Amino acid sequence: MIKIIFEVSEDFIRESASPETVTAKIKVENGISAMKSLFDMIGFKQLEKQIDEGKTEFVVTPDKFDDKSKEFYNNEIGEICLLAAVSEIDNKKEESDE
């Protein structure tokens, strides 16, 4: 098992949970799906509620999901792995530039 750790600021979560942010995002980014933006906002809003309850760590593993959620996990995990790999590549570039 490997771990991919994402750090996200609480301010980013709260801002992204805001309907005003979603509306502005749809207007600024031509072609962005309104449904995707709404879906993202719902996710951020759910995290915001848990943050308000004091939670600060969210462990995502496929064994926690029902079949429908596991399908979503399987569809998104490739992009997450790509972000993790690019992060490491970019970090090495920065270290070699110093």
Give residue-wise pLDDT tens across range 13-45. 999 999 888 887 777 665 567 778 888 899 999
Q: What pLDDT sits at residue 18?
A: 92
> What's the pLDDT band for 85 if we cut at 50, 70, 90?
very high
Whether 50 and 92 share a structural domain = no
Whether 88 and 54 share a structural domain = no
Distances in Å between the Cα of 54 and the Cα atoms of 6, 9, 17, 40, 43 are 18, 14, 17, 21, 17
Whether 14 and 33 share a structural domain = yes
- Whether residue 2 lies inside any domain: the answer is no
Domain that holds residue 14: 8-58
Whether 40 and 82 share a structural domain = no
> What's the pLDDT band for 93 if we cut at 50, 70, 90?
confident
* Range scoring the smallest mean pLDDT among 2-6, 26-30, 54-58, 82-86: 26-30
Whether 32 and 71 share a structural domain = no
- Whether residue 3 lies inside any domain: the answer is no
Using a 10 angstrom Cβ sphere, with 0-12 exposed, 13-18 middle and 19 or more buried, the burial of residue 10 is exposed
